[in-house]
Amino acid sequence: MSALPAGRRAARDLLDTLGTDRRTEWRTCFSTDGSEAPTGLAPVCPDEDHEEDDGSVYACCAEPVIECGSSPVAAYLAALLNADRGAL
Ligand SMILES: [Zn+2]
């Protein structure tokens, strides 16, 4: 098995244990590290009062929030996870 399918499966297994659904849509978010760029990943918030372009995490937001340490990496991982939605 190549690295990509193995990594995809391992990430999916972890996200399953964190309670996400395989159809979860992901976004970048501001996590708790205090950075000025969105360096975290979180599920897109379904609350209609949470504006789509608001990258903050509030009580309305679903877990998990995963800190990636880098805004470009967080954006890339969100895109990868969204590309795999429902396919894993
Ligand atoms: Zn929210």
Ligand 1 centroid from CA 83, angstroms: 22
Q: pLDDT 10s digit of each residue in the chain, 88 long?
A: 689 889 999 999 999 999 898 899 999 999 876 778 999 999 999 999 999 999 999 999 999 999 999 999 999 999 999 999 977 5
Ligand 1 centroid from CA 29, angstroms: 10
Distance in angstroms between the alpha carbons of the first and the last residue of the chain? 15
Ligand 1 centroid from CA 21, angstroms: 17
**Domains in the chain: boundaries:** 3-83
Distance between CA atoms of residues 28 and 78, nearest Å = 7
3-class SS at 42? strand
CA 32 to chain CA centroid, Å, is 14
Tokens 């679903």, located at residue: 62
Ligand 1 centroid from CA 45, angstroms: 5
Distance between CA atoms of residues 29 and 74, nearest Å = 8
Ligand 1 centroid from CA 62, angstroms: 7
